[in-house]
Amino acid sequence: MEYIKLIVAADVIYDDDLTDAFLSQILCLFASNSSRVVLLALEKRLNFTLEYLDVACPAYIHFTAKLRHLQQQGLLFTRQLPLDFPNYIQYDRVRELELWEIKPR
């Protein structure tokens, strides 16, 4: 595992407990090699929620709150990447699609 520099993940942010476990594992991987980078693709899943009494994406809200918290602690650097790169696979790029870069600080 030591030689791995790039971690690519997609569609892993849909359950709060699993999101916490995913980010915890990322922190462990960064601790053993600070030159690693995670590229994470996700699509916000919008649903009507009783909690917000509106259309929302609670899993995405949880994910971004955790990222902010980890950044404030000085553990991670994160940024949302632009999606203006060429499309080589035929699919509809929806507005809810996001690409994130996560690095150790």
How high is the mean pLDDT in each 10-residue block of the chain (105 residues)? 90 93 96 95 83 80 96 97 87 86 96
Give the count of alpha carbons within 13 A of 43, CB side only: 7
- For 34, the token pair is 């600070």
Q: Residue 70: its pLDDT value, please?
A: 97
* pTM for the full predicted model: 0.86
Q: Which domains does the chain have, with CATH numbers?
A: 6-104 (3.30.110)
Beta-bridged to residue 48, according to DSSP, are 55
Q: Residue 52: its pLDDT value, please?
A: 67
CB atoms within 10 A of CB 27: 14
Q: Residue 15: its pLDDT value, please?
A: 92
